[in-house]
Amino acid sequence: MPLTNNEVIYRGSIMRNTEQAIGMVIYTGEECKIRMNANKNPRIKSPALQARVNRVVMLIVLLVVVLAVACTVAYIYWSDDVEQNSWYLDKANVSYGPIFTSFLIMFNTMIPISLYVSMEIVKVAQMLMLNADIDMYDPESDTPIEARTSTINEELGQVSYIFSDKTGTLTNNSMRFRKMSVAGTAWYHDFDLREEEAREGGREKLIHKKRSFKGKKSMTRKSNVSEARSHLARPSSTSVADKTRKPGRPVLDYRTADMVKYIQRKPYTLFARKAKMFILAIALCHTCIPESDELGNTSFQAASPDELALVMAAQELGYLVTDRQPNTLTVRTYPNGPDGPASEETYEILDVIEFSSARKRMSVVVRMPDQRICLFCKGADSILMQLLKRAALAQEKAVEIERRASKRKAAEASEIIRRNSEYQARNSGVRTSLSRPSMTHRRSSVSGRHMSTLRESIDVWLRDRETDGGILNRGNDAEYYSPRPSAQIGRPSTTMSDSGSSVNDDEEEEDLVEEALVVNEEAVFERCFQHLNDFATEGLRTLLYGHRFLDEASYNTWKAAYREACTSLDDRQEKIEKVGEQLEQQLELTGATAIEDKLQKGVPEAIDKLRRANIKLWMLTGDKRETAINVGHSCRLVKDYSTLVILDQETGEVERSIVKFTSDLTQGTVAHSVVVVDGQTLSMIEADETLRARFFKLAILVDSVICCRASPKQKAFLVHSIRKQVKDSITLAIGDGANDIAMIQEAHVGIGITGKEGLQAARISDYSIAQFRFLLKLLLVHGRWNYMRACKYTLGTFWKEMLFYLTQALYQRWNGYTGTSLYEPWSLSMFNTLFTSLAVIFLGIFTKDLAASTLLAVPELYTKGQQHGGFNIKLYLGWTFMATCEAMIVYFTMFGLWANVMFTHTGSDIFSSGLLTYTACVIIINTKLQALEVHNKTYLSLAVFIISVGGWFVWDMILSRQYNFGSGDGIYHVPGNFIFQSGHDLAFWVILLLTVVAVIVFEVTVSAVRANLFPTDVDIFQEYEQDLEIRKRFEEAAASELQQGWDHGSKKSSLELAREAEMEAREKQVQELLSRPRVMTKTGSGPMGTETEVELAGYSSSADHVADRSNPMTEDEVMNTPRRSVEIHELFTKGFGAIRKGQL
């Protein structure tokens, strides 16, 4: 007996209805697929930034050697000029070896060894803050983000390529019946979405609104089904829901629930008969087995999730399969609705022609309860349209629709190319990392009119990217979708009930289905194939259904041939397929279905923002090609106007296709490109070195790559190849299963999804998250923050070391280049440990150059990390230049005003000069790193400054006791100590103040000149954040990623803060009113028919107060003005403040 997949039982499988079985254990231990596909030697990951830092450290080592050599040479000249001619230095000269060594020892502290130690502290703190982010917590699975390493935090901000698994990572690993087309009308199936809404309890919560171009409108968010409630713009527009459809595509308004009601109300119309036949075909054409539990609930065992989705949809549409025997199938229907009596019918299953990859269809032959024999067939539309009775008409309509679709895609592609050309022309010669909105009025001091224009410009700029640029005006593209007016379905706009069903009046119910369209076969064909095209464009898995009634004689003749083919010993499968083709012909068009491979929440939006961040996404999956392409469409990896290049070794034109398309890409004639390659073709490419080089050249140029039928080793091979081909790129791999472990280990950053396939990938990964959408905040916010923090920390460390120790080098001119230190030795050893460590460490932990909402609203800002904009040799040299200039300012100010001036009563000496220079350096370093370099200043920055600078003065006081004989504890007497001498000299403090102010003014001046003449993207968006309206707009664009933190965290959005401020103002108004004396007014008719008033507490009448209002009142008079009941009633009706009735 041959060993095939039919004889293999995989681990975790359950055998039913079998008393005993004889088997053999295979694929165990190291021979199991998981171990054989595993990476046997996983590499040790280290950040790319560390390599750059190491190169700079080597440069500093070289600088130390150069300084030591230069000072040694200077000592030689000084010795010849001075030492040899000074009698008091006779025989005091030192050999050159000790001098050189002393300089090496002095300057070696410029090499920031503390950089590596403190960096670990910074990264651990970053990891802890990452784990505490509530926005990346999944409440459904109770799973927070978990960082398993702190080594590569900064690489999260430099990712250029993402390699993602499909099932369980992008998708939910569940199929849902979403749409159907029958008799020329498309219907939207949202039963599961309504159930989700019911489970959520219809909760509403206020979120940031998505503004239109002008005007403001509040918006509330319900569950997913509410997003799908929009009006029908064009009949063939049949997107899944607002969250998964392409931008610019309206949502289908016809719902299957309305169709079922129509069928029940008018069961004998032509449309009702066709619709019932179609639903019956769905209920019968499958191999699912129903199972009932003790409560009577029916579940199904299916060979594929597609079949399960179809049979479940038939159940929701009123055709429930209750029993299946070897030759019969029982269907329960509800002709009068779910509350009416049920009817059961038994259908005899005569034959099943099973699905195969070659046939791309399956068929069942059933005997109906009225004894008629009917063939139901379902399969790929490209195959089934050839089997229809009117195959020529079907082919004609399919070609016509494809031509219109191609024309539409060409128009969209041309528009994209035109826009890209405009951007390139606009930004030629300018920094192109971010195509910003108009920068004409970028400063915060612009007039109100210009600021309003700027806000509108930013709003348009954001909306243009959020909707993919608004490629075409969908209201004017009828020529690409619906060329025939006769094929249009005119339906008035509908309102929705709380349950989500349509609420139509009698006239609208009559117009729900256009019965005249049902008899127009040409229009039905055109509409059906248009729907199929739209379904496929939206990433849905489509099937076409056909049926045919057979006479008894024809069936018996075919049955004999089929029985013979089934019992054949040679070429059985080929003969069965050949005989099946004899029956599967002359079919009537029954309808079409569309199944959604349900995406995880927020996946399309996340992919759009990652694309805007210049991150290329590759989808690597083990599924078949059609499934992968469909998911690519639904998650917006493949766009409507994308050019798909399918590389298939069976066509024998792989190399020619690669060369041709590479040429097209280099010429700039392709708007958006996606390469699709399967595992077998990839194996062929891997074996040929020339073909491999050409393939990866193409893969680097295209926007996305989809690899289907890929093995774990092939996934790791692709990741490894991109790491080697694109030297400066940072790769990220994300998956949820054991077959993703190899690529997760191979990538620079490995992300595991804690999904349905277990925790193998999550446990081996560097970071684990519960949802793919959490990648947005992980990369765009935390990744960029951590990268910028690491860069600022590194630059700050280099800068402070250079600033402090260059003063030592400058001092050597005045001590004869003898290697004498300017600073007291104990203080020198504590410089990095006590007085400047907190400044750089807290800079590396807490600094945020831009708000999270800005980074999520404008993903283009992420490119700074990809381009190494936070740390490079240019920036290092710039910071070194500043440190050199500032060291010269500090030293020569001290030397000119203190060391060489004799007007101080304490006199100047080396100790006091070093004390003054040291103090100035500590204050300058802490001021720059905690005030000038920190954009988000908090009380924590002030605390660090006070601790560091205050700690230095406390240290001076302690040191002064050690260097003073008068204290009784002194080691020896130092004339210029802080407490007893230098600290009492006014000149010391004046010169210290002048030195610090001079350096700070120099820093601020250079920064201001740079920001005004050469502003970076960060400079400009920091200016934008100062405007409340622009900041709110950024928060609106980032609300989906930050809303959970606003709802449950401690941080509030600008909109919420503004509301609270408004409520506080209203509350204050109420308090002021309540503090005023109370007067009750009662309007009525007195004895003479006039109005009377009732006064309380002896106050004057209300009329007197009204008369007094003609004159302006002081604040005290207003406070003493009695309040009237009408004023309190007005507060109640307008809802001002939190009014407490007990105070009224």
Residues of the binding site:
165-167, 307, 355, 378
Q: Which of 316, 332, 190, 310 is CA-nearest to residue 260?
A: 316
What sections of 903-1026 are H helices per DSSP?
Answer: 910-927, 939-962, 986-1013, 1017-1025
Structure tokens that stand for 164 in this block: 């993602």
As a whole number of angstroms, the distance between CA 314 and CA 320 comes to 6
Say how far apart CA 141 and CA 161 lie, in whole Å.
Answer: 28
User: Is 165 labeled as catalytic in the residue annotation?
Assistant: yes
Annotated binding site for ATP: 165-167, 307, 355, 378
- Classify strands 749-753 and 673-678 as parallel, antiparallel or unpaired: unpaired
Close Cβ partners of 588 (under 8 Å, ≥ 6 residues apart) = 388, 389, 546, 547, 548
Report DSSP letters for 607-659, one per residue.
Answer: HHHHHHTT-EEEEE-SS-HHHHHHHHHHTTSS-TT-EEEEE-GGGT-HHHHHH
Q: How far is CA 392 from CA 384, 582, 583, 836, 1006, in A?
A: 12, 19, 19, 82, 76
Rounded distance between C-alpha atoms, residue 221 and residue 21, angstroms: 55
Taking the C-alpha atoms of residue 683 and residue 699, their distance in angstroms, rounded to an integer, is 15
Under 8 Å between Cβ of 580 and 598:
no
Q: Which residues have a Cβ under 8 Å from the Cβ of 83 and sit 6 or more positions away? A: 89, 92, 93, 816
Marked catalytic residue, from 165, 190, 597, 956? 165
Distance CA 811, CA 813 (A): 5
772 within 8 A of 169, measured Cβ to Cβ: yes
Nearest to 488 by CA among 478, 496, 476: 478
For residues 149 and 156, give the distance between their C-alpha atoms in angstroms, rounded to a whole number.
Answer: 12
Rounded Cα gap, residues 320 and 311, in angstroms: 8
Q: Which two tokens stand for residue 1136?
A: 């001002």
- Close Cβ partners of 675 (under 8 Å, ≥ 6 residues apart): 645, 647, 661, 698, 699, 702, 704, 705, 706
Strand 673-678: give its sheet, edge to edge.
146-147, 767-769, 749-753, 730-735, 159-164, 616-620, 704-708, 673-678, 643-647
Query: Kind of pairing, strands 185-188 and 171-182?
Result: antiparallel
- As given in the structure block, the two tokens for residue 496 are 């929705």
Please identify which residue in the block is written with the tokens 């990964």. 765
Rounded Cα distance, 369 and 329, in Å: 11
b (16+ CB within 10 A) / e for 337-370? eeeeeeeeeebebbbebebeeebebbbbbbbeee
The letter for the amino acid at 852 is: A
Catalytic residues: 165
